[in-house]
Amino acid sequence: MSVDTPRRIVLLRHAKADWPQVSDHERPLAERGRQDAPVAGRRLAETGIDFDLAICSTATRTRETWKLAVHELPRRPKTVYEDRLYEASPGELIAVLNEVQDDCSDILLIGHNPGVHGLADVLAGSSEGDALARMNRRGFPTAAMATLSYTGSWKGLEPGTATLLDYWAPHE
């Protein structure tokens, strides 16, 4: 695959989590999250993107979101569970994406706010249009996703180098 081939990055925030007496990292999905995660999976399938790689936070709520969403996809992509996605800043998320091999064209990242929303904002840079307006209006609620396009080597991904193609949130 040429680095001149457009790549897509989908950023998915975990579905709604519960608040039991466990550490934040171990919080499971709430009932609404268990309902929204497959809906998000169907939305991922509707994009028609055949993901080469899914990078998922190791937190319980992100792993549960992915487990429920992936069943809606026509093909399960290679999945990597990455500790660094938990509580990551946009810059730390970019550093993880910079490590992806260039033979991967389309990536799904399942993470947390505020990092995922911040990443969508900084990558989109000066993108314009309805998707950005909706994301700015709605924020990045649980199970929301942003789809971005990027051309170049993953090592060159940095703020302002992608274009926001789509934004979706359940209950929108």
Q: pLDDT tens per residue, the chain (172 residues)?
A: 566 788 999 999 999 999 999 999 999 999 999 999 999 999 999 999 999 999 999 999 999 999 999 999 999 999 999 999 999 999 999 999 999 999 999 999 999 999 999 999 999 987 778 898 899 899 999 999 999 999 999 999 999 999 999 999 998 7
Check if CATH label 1.50.40.10 holds for domain 6-168: no
Structure tokens at 109: 């990242």
Q: Could you tell me the strand order of the sheet in which 78-82 lies?
A: 78-82, 53-57, 106-111, 6-13, 145-151, 162-168
Query: What predicted TM-score, i.e. pTM, was given to this entire model?
Result: 0.96
At 112, give phi and psi (nearest 5°): -130, 160
Compute CA 51 distance to the chain's CA centroid, rounded to the nearest angstrom.
12
d(CA 120, CA 140): 9
Where do the H-state alpha helices sit in the chain? 31-46, 60-70, 90-98, 115-124, 130-138
